Amino acid sequence: MESQAKLFFNSIQQIELITYNYSQNEYRKVLEYAFENNLKQIIFTTTIFKKLIEKTYEADLYLAEINFMECLDEQEFTEVKDLISEINVNKKKRIFINLLGKELERFANSESIDIKSIVIFDKEKRQKVELYNNGVIIGELDEMKRIKDLILSRIIW
């Protein structure tokens, strides 16, 4: 069953995943809990998203989508989609990951949050997880925990 969670750093910079039920307005409770426990919200900038994308492929997972905050020219977005497809099928992933990084720089200032979300896909398990720029994560709970351990915990923030 698909779950929703918010990502936080605790006092020793470890990532915590706190689930909540969006339809029951529990998001506010999550933020109150975080405040009471001195947790810091995780926000994904374009720079962090680029690191996430690299770590995704290092973990033998795939990038399924990149969603932007602003509407982009459809042709420019097609180039990003084409690069994602090339990365997912090509053995020389590093070349295309670098090209994708450069392409993302064209769209977004490195310290902005112009990327709204990315979708990470595990082909073997046929599961996807979506990570939003505000630290919200959506997917199967076990897969969200796996993404946290395999990818998020290995990023230098």
User: How confident is residue 63, by pLDDT bands cut at 50, 70 and 90?
Assistant: very high
Report the candidate in 144, 129, 45 with the shortest Cα–Cα distance to residue 153.
Answer: 144
Q: Is the C-alpha dihedral spanning 129, 104, 95, 47 positive or negative?
A: negative
Q: Tens of pLDDT along 69-108?
A: 766 556 667 777 788 888 887 777 777 888 878 777 766 6
Q: What share of the chain is helix, strand, coil (3-state, %, to 5)?
A: 45, 25, 30
Question: 115 forms bridges with which residues in the sheet?
Answer: 68
Task: Report the distance separating Cα 113 and Cα 46, nearest Å.
Answer: 6
Considering the entire predicted model, what is its pTM? 0.82
Q: Tens of pLDDT along 110-152?
A: 555 588 999 999 999 999 999 999 999 999 999 999 999 999 9
